[in-house]
Amino acid sequence: MVYSWRDERRNALIMDLVHIIIALAVVVMGVVSFIYQERFLFLFPAVFFLAAVLHGIHGIMRFRAGKKEKRHIALGVLCILVTLLLLGMSAVSAISMRR
C-alpha cells in the first residue's frame, strides 16, 4: 500500500491530538487526585493507565517509523517497556486500593 504525504500528515495530526487530549487528562486527574486524596482515590490507577496508553501509542509509532533507523526501533522498544511498567503500576495501585 502506498501512502501519500497527506496520509502521513493526517496521521501525525491525529497522533498529536491524541497526545494532547490524553496528556491533559493525565494532568487534570493527577492534580485532582493529589488535592482530594480521600474522595478521588480511584483516579490513581486511571492516571497510570492513561500514561501507559500514551507511552504505548508513542512506542508503536516510533517502532513503525524505524524501518531504516535502529535508533527509532530502540526508542520504540524503550517506550513499550515504560508502557509495561506503567501498566504494572496501575495494576498494583488498583489492587492496593481494594485492601
Q: What is the pLDDT of residues 47-99, one digit of tens each?
A: 999 999 988 988 888 877 777 778 878 888 899 999 999 999 999 998 988 77
Side-chain-side CA neighbours of residue 26 (13 Å): 17
Q: How many residues does the chain have?
A: 99
Question: C-alpha 31: how far from its chain's center?
Answer: 18
Q: Are 45 and 90 in contact (CB under 8 A)?
A: yes
For the packed helices 70-98 and 43-65, what is the interaxial angle rounded to 10 degrees? 170
Which sequence spans correspond to the domains of the chain? 5-98
Q: What is the pLDDT of residues 25-48, one digit of tens each?
A: 989 998 998 898 888 888 889 999
